[in-house]
């Protein structure tokens, strides 16, 4: 059973409900019954009309509004009525509800938002794409294992290539945090670690998993999306601007349409929060029913392939868990953000 | 007179010499006389066959090899035989030679590499694109004024919109360094400051000047270049993949060619090091004669429009200079990297 929050999507709760029905999977759907309809077939509806907006302070809103749909959905996962969470709403409240209710894996410092980029030759998993704004070396190390386990478990990618985002390929290039993380990942072992990768390796699919801090990752993601949009629009405008090229545009429309499908985020299923005790998928706010169905399918695969258990085992084997006694973890300074 | 280092360009010193001759401006050209030819017309050649490679440790190489062409060229600027420096070689040695010989403006913490992005509706100036890997708030503040003065002086952009790159538009979004920089820029005044901008505002030309640390800026630049290349290749492949769409491709080729010109880095002239006592332009390694001529023209405009003097005045007026007694500067912690 997958818990789905129907509130907060750009196309409204009814589109999310339609996606849930289309997925063909068992879904516990939290949203306004007036919009999502009654339980039927594989979809069990819980009437939850209260929503948390994207502009509220997330942790505060989650704590004070236990009846909000995202909080109820997260609680259903914590109480094991559902095995994973899918949200079509804002990332902030989803992250807050998931961290507070579903909670982090034991020994994980903080969750990371991992985004599947629909790149030819990919997809490429970029993390952290913005769950935090800064990352210490021990966070980057955990992100590397979390991302690799996701690609292995959910995308059946054998020994995915893991790269650490930096400003040059040489091992000496990067911030002190990147240099320290690189040393620890190499020492921890167990990964197909390709060392530093650069900005052009993200669209170039130079690695299957690209590890970075949430600030850089968020900027990189938005530059990529913005540039892709700019290029599509500029080419469209060039084609439309003369009758001759408009005829040319009609002739290539089919091929370019197929290219667009290849780059389609709805086919991939959105972003996933890694490092929690259960899979949590954050569908893009713009997703229609097809994208929501993909997101639910993604959550289902993460459950079926035991992504969480495999992540915990990999982190432990590498000595990268916070409470473990192994080598690199001894360097971790005590901190106040709890250990799960 | 503009000093030009002819070594290090992908197309060789002869292509740089050809660009210098094509520029129609007075140039002091440092390179192997065997390749760049003799002095003639506006171009005075100084035989300087020694080059510093991109893989050497730059500061060390610059200190130990006074005969290297980039060191000689930088010295000619320091000694006022030339008014500005243009390098077609690697960024590292250029940055080291310029910082050691041309030196920083008094009160400037560190130079920034500013890249002109050839975006429709732009260009957009992105800085720092990688001169440093980290930035403290006081660095970001200086970058904001340096970038604005460049766009005003060299691009005659009146009151250019300056944005601070972050992960959300709200003033509370970002790293501690970004939040502190935002407060100081708002307090300093004198800029058309639009607040935070996000990754998609770079390709979207949401600001004329985008300010960030060198790590994030370098990643953003390479993601933008890589995505643009990926899209062009993917569309080219889609067009070529069937006879019908190939005909369509032929029909739109003229329009797309004009789009490519609009996005052409050679027309813009490359990157510029800001915060030094003289203008220093770093042409892209791939530039041919046309790009080199643009880079020389860019350096000439920076001299003629007194970019450096205007930058010093703006930094002083905002109380953003390191040695000034004004408000925000009092918070700057003492540091060991010298003050110029």
| Predicted complex ipTM | 0.87
* A235 contacts on B by Cβ (under 8 Å): 231, 235, 256, 259
- Whether residue A238 and residue B223 make contact (CB cut-off 8 A), yes or no, is no
Specify the pLDDT at position A332. 37
- Whether residue A203 and residue B215 make contact (CB cut-off 8 A), yes or no, is no
Residue A12 confidence (pLDDT) above 70:
yes
Question: Range with the lowest mean pLDDT among A106-115, A133-142, A323-332, B297-306?
Answer: A323-332
The B161-165 sheet, strands edge to edge: B43-47, B27-31, B2-5, B84-87, B280-282, B271-274, B112-117, B124-127, B209-211, B161-165, B192-197
* B256 contacts on A by Cβ (under 8 Å): 235, 238
Q: Which residue is associated with the tokens 């970019």?
A: B307
Q: Tell me which residue in A219, A247, A256 faces B199 most closely, judged by beta carbons.
A: A219
Q: How far apart are CA B316 and CA B159, in angstroms?
A: 18
> What percentage of chain A carries pLDDT values higher than 70?
84
- Whether residue A252 and residue B248 make contact (CB cut-off 8 A), yes or no, is yes
Specify the pLDDT at position B332. 37
Q: How far apart are CA B210 and CA B161, in angstroms?
A: 9
Specify the pLDDT at position A286. 86
Q: Which residue is associated with the tokens 């320091």?
A: B78
Q: How far apart are CA B161 and CA A128, in angstroms?
A: 29
- Whether residue B221 and residue A199 make contact (CB cut-off 8 A), yes or no, is yes
Query: What's A309's DSSP letter?
Result: H
- Whether residue B227 and residue A222 make contact (CB cut-off 8 A), yes or no, is no
Question: Average pLDDT, whole number, for chain B?
Answer: 87
Mean pLDDT of A266-272: 72
Sign of the CA dihedral with A104 first, then A106, A112, and A113 last: negative
Confidence of residue A64 (pLDDT cuts 50, 70, 90): very high
> What percentage of chain B carries pLDDT values higher than 70?
84
Dig out the tokens for B95 from the structure: 């940055």
Strand pairing category for A161-165 and A124-127: unpaired
- Whether residue A199 and residue B215 make contact (CB cut-off 8 A), yes or no, is no
Mean pLDDT of B225-249: 70
Dig out the tokens for A210 from the structure: 């690209």
* A225 contacts on B by Cβ (under 8 Å): 199-200
Q: How far apart are CA B199 and CA B91, in angstroms?
A: 24
Dig out the tokens for A306 from the structure: 């035991």
Alpha helices in chain B (DSSP H): 13-23, 33-36, 58-64, 69-78, 91-97, 137-155, 176-188, 214-240, 243-262, 265-268, 289-304, 307-317
Q: Distance between alpha carbon B2 and the CA centroid of its chain, in Å? A: 16
Q: How far apart are CA B95 and CA A289, in angstroms?
A: 52
Residue A260 confidence (pLDDT) above 60:
no
pTM of structure: 0.88
Specify the pLDDT at position B109. 96
CATH number of the structural domain B118-267+307-340: 3.40.718.10
Residue A128 confidence (pLDDT) above 90:
yes
Confidence of residue A334 (pLDDT cuts 50, 70, 90): very low
- Whether residue B199 and residue A234 make contact (CB cut-off 8 A), yes or no, is no
Which of B230, B194, B326 lies closest to A204, judged by CA?
A: B230
Topology (CATH) of A119-266+306-332: Isopropylmalate Dehydrogenase (3.40.718)
Task: Report the chain A residue with the minimal C-alpha distance to residue B221.
Answer: A199
Task: Report the chain B residue with the minimal C-alpha distance to residue A130.
Answer: B167
- Whether residue A175 and residue B134 make contact (CB cut-off 8 A), yes or no, is yes
More confident residue, B334 or B253: B253
Specify the pLDDT at position A122. 81
Residue A252 confidence (pLDDT) above 60:
no
Specify the pLDDT at position B171. 84
Residue B340 confidence (pLDDT) above 50:
no
* A221 contacts on B by Cβ (under 8 Å): 199
Query: A237 with B256: CB under 8 angstroms?
Result: no
Q: How far apart are CA B199 and CA A223, in angstroms?
A: 4
Long-range CB contacts for residues A78-82, cutoff 8 Å, separation at least 24: A78/A102, A78/A103, A81/A1, A81/A3, A81/A28, A82/A1, A82/A2, A82/A3, A82/A28
Give the start-to-end residue ranges of the domains of chain B.
118-267+307-340
Which of A173, A151, A178, A175 lies closest to A162, judged by CA?
A: A151
> What percentage of chain A carries pLDDT values higher than 90?
71
Confidence of residue B167 (pLDDT cuts 50, 70, 90): very high
Interface test with chain A among B119, B136, B231, by most A beta carbons within 10 Å:
B231
Minimal C-alpha gap between B211 and chain A (Å): 12
H or E element, residue A117: strand A112-117
Which of A298, A293, A264 lies closest to A281, judged by CA?
A: A298
Specify the pLDDT at position A234. 72
pLDDT one-digit tens code per residue, B111-139: 999 998 888 888 899 999 999 999 999 99
Instruction: Name every residue whose Cβ is closer than 8 Å to that of residue A215 and which is 6 or more positions away in sequence.
Output: A130, A133, A134, B166, B167, B174, B175, B216
Question: Range with the lowest mean pLDDT among A199-213, A229-243, B57-71, B73-87?
Answer: A229-243
Mean pLDDT of B170-179: 93
Specify the pLDDT at position B325. 44
Task: Report the chain A residue with the minimal C-alpha distance to residue B172.
Answer: A57
Dig out the tokens for B292 from the structure: 């080199």
Specify the pLDDT at position A329. 38
Mean pLDDT of A314-319: 93
Specify the pLDDT at position B251. 55
Query: A296 with A4: CB under 8 angstroms?
Result: yes
Task: Report the chain B residue with the minimal C-alpha distance to residue A119.
Answer: B230
Specify the pLDDT at position B339. 38
Specify the pLDDT at position A282. 93
Question: Average pLDDT, whole number, for chain A?
Answer: 87
Specify the pLDDT at position A248. 56
Q: Tell me which residue in B120, B223, B245 faces A223 most closely, judged by beta carbons.
A: B223
More confident residue, A311 or A170: A311
Confidence of residue B89 (pLDDT cuts 50, 70, 90): confident
Interface test with chain B among A131, A136, A167, A220, by most B beta carbons within 10 Å:
A167
Which of B220, B198, B215, B122 lies closest to A203, judged by CA?
A: B220
Q: Cα-flanking dihedrals φ and ψ of residue B301, to 5°?
A: -60, -40
Minimal C-alpha gap between A231 and chain B (Å): 7
Specify the pLDDT at position B338. 39
């Amino acid at each position: 059973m997958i818990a789905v929050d129907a509130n907060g999507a750009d196309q409204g709760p009814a589109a999310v409900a339609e996606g849930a029905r289309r997925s063909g999977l068992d879904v516990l759907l939290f949203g306004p019954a007036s919009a999502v309809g009654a339980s039927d077939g594989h979809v069990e509806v819980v009437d939850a009309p209260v929503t948390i907006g994207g502009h509220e302070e997330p942790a505060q809103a989650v704590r004070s509004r236990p009846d909000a749909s995202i909080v109820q959905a997260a609680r259903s996962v914590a109480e094991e009525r559902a095995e994973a969470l899918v949200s079509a709403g804002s990332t902030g409240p989803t992250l807050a509800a998931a961290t507070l209710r579903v909670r982090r894996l034991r020994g994980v410092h903080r969750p990371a938002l991992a985004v599947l980029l629909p790149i030819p030759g990919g997809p490429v998993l970029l993390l952290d794409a913005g769950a935090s704004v800064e990352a210490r070396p021990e966070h980057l190390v955990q992100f590397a294992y979390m991302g690799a386990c996701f690609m292995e478990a959910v995308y059946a990618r054998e020994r995915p290539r893991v790269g650490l985002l930096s400003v040059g390929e040489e091992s000496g290039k990067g911030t002190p945090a990147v240099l320290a993380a690189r040393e620890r990942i190499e020492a921890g072992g167990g990964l197909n670690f390709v060392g530093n990768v650069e900005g052009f390796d993200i669209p170039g699919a130079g690695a299957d998993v690209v590890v970075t801090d949430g600030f850089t990752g968020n900027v990189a993601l938005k530059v990529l999306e913005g540039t892709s949009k700019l290029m599509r629009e500029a080419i469209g405008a060039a084609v439309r601007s003369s009758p001759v090229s408009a005829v040319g545009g009609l002739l290539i429309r089919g091929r370019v349409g197929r290219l667009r499908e290849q780059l389609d985020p709805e086919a991939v299923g959105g972003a996933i929060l890694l490092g929690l005790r259960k899979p949590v998928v954050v569908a893009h706010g713009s997703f229609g029913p097809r994208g929501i169905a993909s997101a639910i399918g993604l959550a289902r695969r993460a459950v079926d392939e035991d992504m969480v258990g495999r992540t915990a085992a990999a982190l432990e084997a590498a000595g990268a868990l916070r409470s473990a006694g192994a080598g690199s973890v001894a360097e971790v300074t005590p901190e106040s953000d709890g250990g799960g």
